[in-house]
Amino acid sequence: MSVGHTGVTTDPVVSCGDEHEDCGIREVLDRIGDKWSVLVVVELAQGVRRFRQLQRAIPGISQRMLTLTVRRLERDGLVTRTVHPTVPPQVEYELTTMGHSLTYLVKALADWSAQHRDAIAQARQTWDAEHPDSGIR
Amino acid sequence: MSVGHTGVTTDPVVSCGDEHEDCGIREVLDRIGDKWSVLVVVELAQGVRRFRQLQRAIPGISQRMLTLTVRRLERDGLVTRTVHPTVPPQVEYELTTMGHSLTYLVKALADWSAQHRDAIAQARQTWDAEHPDSGIR
DNA sequence: CCGTATCCTTGCCGATACTG
DNA sequence: CAGTATCGGCAAGGATACGG
């Protein structure tokens, strides 16, 4: 099957077999595509963190959202949560093996972003200049 | 700098230099983390597509959302839009070189998803069983 | 310190109708 | 065919207050 484009790059053919199906792509994005999950994963990639540590390391996240995010990660088996029944209470979060495997993916995202950030920014400027009032933004 | 965790896997250290900054990660996710962008990219990875072709290939997408999605991709320089002034009108969409580079990333997402789908599903079952009524889901 | 509960705003997205 | 315009629902997420 020819890809039929004139571009320079070769094509990894991300097609999902022979069906026009949603691969598992949307599943991953529904999991880490939210506002905070990746940032939590990035921080936990550095090592074990406590709740407050995480919150301080991720500027702008609310207590509520940190709780929700970390709960969902725990539910999906990406993070472990260990409670130390001390006073005041201590709760430690750590990536599971699967959670660590995610960091490679996140690194790929970061790399792609770094490589194309400028090109995208410029493309936007150009497009915005050519389409002054277009609803999009 | 030590990573300080006891996990089994080696660590890609996704940290953003020495700052506790958001890498470009959120930028990418804001771009492709929406409901339809990746699916459009996946379809365009196969070759040039017209508007209706895209809509038929992506079940569930509305005309409005396809327009918005494809416009944003165009604005970001990931997709080209060429209008053939025929009657009825024909508009063809194609990935740019940068758009094609994105497909590698999408493939990485699909691969990770395929590898961990089962483990995640099971983790969820376990967690849900242990936390019958917890708001999360 | 580590959450949960509640309220409220925001904007994504779907449905529908209408143009060139 | 390939859009644009408008309305409305709904869920994500922020702010705040309270509890163990």
Nucleotide nearest to A65 (CA to C1'): D13
* Tokens of residue B60, six digits: 């569930």
Q: Of A62, A91, A55, whose CA–CA distance to A74 is shortest?
A: A91
Is the pLDDT assigned to residue A13 strictly greater than 80? no
- In sequence order, the β-bridge partners of residue B95 are B79
> By percentage, how much of chain A surpasses pLDDT 70?
84
Supply the pLDDT for residue A84: 96
Supply the pLDDT for residue A111: 95
* Tokens of residue B43, six digits: 């379809």
Is the pLDDT assigned to residue B20 strictly greater than 80? no
Residues in contact with B115: Cβ distance below 8 Å, sequence separation at least 6, in sequence order: A101
**Contact indicator for B51, B93 with CB cutoff of 8 Å:** yes
Query: Which of strand D's nucleotides are less than 7 A from any protein C-beta?
Result: 1-6, 12-17, 20
**Contact indicator for A67, A75 with CB cutoff of 8 Å:** no
* Mean pLDDT score, A49-56: 98
* Mean pLDDT score, A45-60: 97
Q: Is the CB of B32 under 7 A from strand C?
A: no
Confidence band of A10 (pLDDT split at 50, 70, 90)? low
- Render pLDDT for A93-130 as a digit per residue (tens, 0 to 9): 999 999 999 999 999 999 999 999 999 999 999 999 99
Nucleotide nearest to A83 (CA to C1'): C2
Q: Is the CB of B91 under 7 A from strand D?
A: yes
User: What is the arrangement of strands in the sheet containing A90-95, beginning at the earlier edge strand?
Assistant: A49-50, A90-95, A79-84
- Please name the residue that has the structure tokens 């599903």: B121
Confidence band of B14 (pLDDT split at 50, 70, 90)? low
> Rounded to whole angstroms, how far apart are CA atoms B104 and A13?
9
Averaged confidence pLDDT in chain A: 88
Smallest Cα distance from A33 to chain B, Å: 5
Q: Is the CB of B132 under 7 A from strand C?
A: no
- Render pLDDT for B74-121 as a digit per residue (tens, 0 to 9): 999 999 999 999 999 999 999 999 999 999 999 999 999 999 999 999
